[in-house]
Amino acid sequence: MLTSTFCLLPGVGLPLERRFWGQGISTWDRFLATGEIRGLSAARKALFDDRIREARERFARQDSRYFANALAARHQWRLYEWLRDRALYLDIETDSFGQITVVGLYGRGQYRALVRNESLSLLRLQEALSPYDLLVTFCGSTFDLPMLRAHFPDLALDQPHIDLCGAGRQLGYRGGLKAIERRLGISRLPALQGFSGEDAVRQWNRWRHQRDEEARSLLLAYNEADCVNLQPLADAFYCQLVLASGLEQVRPERERDPARL
């Protein structure tokens, strides 16, 4: 999907992008190979050619950070298929005072929890985040990432970021993470059914004040589910967004490659 994306060009929105696709210009290579495009002046075409050549070079160099700035937040879902193997699914927990208690990280099939007063530090966060080229969250734009920046001002969060809450809204999904999971058939352990963020705060307090190991285990299991379940949700949303974009309907049949992750 990324190499069919023209929204990274200045002044190009979805209607103009779809006009390109409708003219058979469905990839960056096709755009560059086309001498004249209806509705574009020669000067604008030359400018776009330069931008596309740069994007193509950055893509070849696996430079994901370039696209964090080149693509608007609402279009960064288009990076998912390319970067899925290098994606980190992130979710944080906080206490009743708004202090971070757990940073949960799921990437390359492994879950890791950084816990306050144990393993949570700027250095540990930097080490955990730096190998990954894409961050995936649910409401991370308004909660998780601002909280991390507030608590760790020197933390580099320069990867592209897909907020699945916003991606879901583009598809008409409303409600919280757990409601959307149920709608899509994404399951959780029976012990976590009905468990909420408020319950997570209570479990943290039980662990902090009473050293209740069961409470700590339940808190981390809840956080792990919040992280791990982001992957099948991202898979489902990406496939639906590709279909909703209309690209497959205008691309020649021999070039079609329905999203399969």
Q: Tell me the per-residue pLDDT of 123-182, one tens digit each, with 9 for 90 and over.
A: 999 999 999 999 999 999 999 999 999 999 999 999 999 999 999 999 999 999 999 999
89 and 18, same structural domain?
A: no
Domain boundaries, position 135:
82-236
Helix-then-strand count for the chain, H and E = 13, 5
221 and 115, same structural domain?
A: yes
SS3 content of the chain, % helix, strand, coil (to 5): 55, 10, 30
Q: Which two tokens stand for residue 211?
A: 């050293």
Q: Tell me the per-residue pLDDT of 9-59, one tens digit each, with 9 for 90 and over.
A: 999 999 999 999 999 999 999 999 999 998 899 999 999 999 999 999 999
> Is the pLDDT confidence value at 6 over 80?
yes
46 and 147, same structural domain?
A: no
Q: What is the CATH number of the domain that holds 54?
A: 1.10.150
Distance CA 71, CA 74 (A): 8
> Model pTM greater than 0.95?
no
pLDDT cut 70: percent of the chain above it: 95
Q: Tell me the per-residue pLDDT of 88-115, one tens digit each, with 9 for 90 and over.
A: 999 999 999 999 999 999 999 999 999 9
88 and 51, same structural domain?
A: no
Residue 141 lies inside a defined structural domain of this protein: yes
Place of tokens 């696709």: 21
Distance CA 78, CA 71 (A): 9
214 and 88, same structural domain?
A: yes
Q: Tell me the per-residue pLDDT of 200-223, one tens digit each, with 9 for 90 and over.
A: 999 999 999 999 999 999 999 999
> Is the pLDDT confidence value at 252 over 60?
no
Q: Determine the pLDDT at residue 249.
A: 75
Q: What is the DSSP letter of 242?
A: H
Distance CA 85, CA 60 (A): 16
Place of tokens 């755009």: 31
Report the amino acid identity of residue 235: D
Q: What is the CATH number of the domain that holds 110?
A: 3.30.420.10
CA angle (156 as vertex; 152, 158 as ends), nearest 5:
135
Residue 66 lies inside a defined structural domain of this protein: no
> Is the pLDDT confidence value at 251 over 70?
no
Q: Determine the pLDDT at residue 3.
A: 96
Number of independent structural domains in the chain: 2
Residue 172 lies inside a defined structural domain of this protein: yes
Residue 261 banded pLDDT, cuts 50, 70, 90:
low
